[in-house]
Amino acid sequence: MKNPINYRLKALAIGMGALSATLSVDAIARDHKPGQSDQVPTSATEWFKAGQSAVLLNKSDLPKLRKAKNVILFVGDGMGVSTVTASRILEGQLQGRDGEYNRLGFEKFSNLALSVTASANQQTSDSAPTATAMVTGIKTNDGAISVDQDIDRMEPSADITAAHSVKTILERAEERGMSTGVVTTARFTHATPAVNYAHISNRDWEADSNLPANASVKDIARQLLEFPYGNGLEVAIGGGRSYFIPNNQPDPEYPSQKGRRKDGRDLTLEWLSKYNNSEYVWNKDQFDAIDPKKTEHLLGLFERSHMRYEADRKDDAAGEPSLADMTEKAIQILQKNKKGYYLMVEAGRIDHAHHAGNAYRALTDAIALSDAVKKARAITNDKDTLILVTADHSHVFTIAGYPSRGNPILGKTAVDGVELTDSLGLPYTTLSYANGPGWTGGAQRKEFNPANEGTVTATYAGNALRPNLTAIDTTNPNYLQEATVPMGSETHAGEEVAIYADGPGAYLVRGTLEQNAIYHVMADALGWH
């Protein structure tokens, strides 16, 4: 007979920083009942307490296990379950294996849960509140970057913004002497990376040129350089170079184009002057030359805006490191700290390819994320490093029809090599979108244009209701999958996304969790509860 496990749950004591109502030990412990209540939270304090309760419920029937020294949070922006499935199949097929039996690196993790992505005011959310939920432990409104739901979307005041700001897990890690980093393939000032270090009511205020004229709040790029916690981020890697350099300064890679800052500040030079043993790089050769043993603070900005899609990375004349390369370098720099580290890694362009209606680039960027996760797991210890892989939201991306096992996932739906047809007698693809730019409008077909990340339209003979795809190679990387509802940009979807977990604290990831519980999983794994 097994010995019963008896231990008491400790009262949780994690402050909320600059929230107007700071949580205290007594406030959290008073009348505390683990689990989700039927009462919908209506404030940041209530969201924070609800997230803690969900984590306590998951650990209430388990013994106290090993704590994590390090936490790595991987975010596949827009990587819904259908994207994971299609990416798994595509990766296997590209490697000449059974795609359906294939598994991405993180699908082999020990624990799995569902994450409810609805924000404080949205049924289907954007990236700002969903990413904020993961790193602050609360839910907030659309467009909000690590501020609570009571702030106005266009709030220009620095003082009011500070009063509504919510401290992030990265900021708390810096306060504890840990090393911190953020890696992304999007602009470093974009919503998901920004929630770690910035507090602002409007995600679009990435540079001072984006701010309203009466604003006293600092733009997102400036907040990285004026970060007030600990000794600052050790690793900041991604795109968005133009948001860091003046509007009269030529870009080093594209000399005919200039920066976006109207305040005259070159934040890349300020990074070098602010930190000892610091480096700034903007191309792959410079990145490869970085010695992690000697570098204490690394800023890497590899594009004016977002980095290239994985499928197009080879076409960059200056060269860009892969997401796996950036993840490896970040860990090598961060792991020197004996107190541990927090790292977020975002595959930001999965989302952008879906918005463009281009499944090939969305799926190959998801595969690149899997490669980065594999690299991270290979160079870390699962006894002291918790790795979480999740998405901020999903997309209206579907896998449909009745294709045979092994049928090309990017191809037309077929059974034993014979293409199936719709009610009009026309072939159709396995992958499609509920809305987006891939709507064909009858006798036309749209394709992705890598040169400007836009679309081009080809007109040809077809049915008035749908184009005839018989002679079209739908596996072409530039093919835009058909969309049911015509829209300039495909939209997010509102269903749950998956959370995959491995390492200390992974056992807390089970069931259906509100997205803000992810913060509390990480905090508990680190022993902060």
DSSP state of 306: S
Strand partners, 92: none
3-state secondary structure 41-92: CCCHHHHHHHHHHHHHHHHCCCCCCCCCCEEEEEEECCCCHHHHHHHHHHHH
Type of residue found at 512 = T
Q: Which residue reads 């930190």 in tokens?
A: 275
3-state secondary structure of 183: strand
Give me the catalytic one of 82, 115, 125, 127. 127
CB 78 within 8 A of CB 470: no
Report residue 93 as tokens: 């097929």
Write down the residue that tokens 């569902």 correspond to. 114
Closest-CA residue to 480 (of 420, 436, 522, 438): 438
Which residues, other chains included, contact 362 with Cβ-Cβ below 8 Å and sequence gap of 6+? 78, 83, 350, 351, 353, 354, 395, 397
Sign of CA dihedral 143, 148, 151, 157: negative
Are 242 and 253 spatial neighbours (Cβ–Cβ below 8 Å)? no
Tokens of 346: 């975002």
Query: Within 13 Å and on the Cβ side, how many CA atoms surround 16?
Result: 27
How many CB atoms neighbour CB 507 within 10 A?
16
147/280 Cα distance (integer angstroms): 29
Q: Is 127 a catalytic residue?
A: yes
Catalytic residue IDs = 127
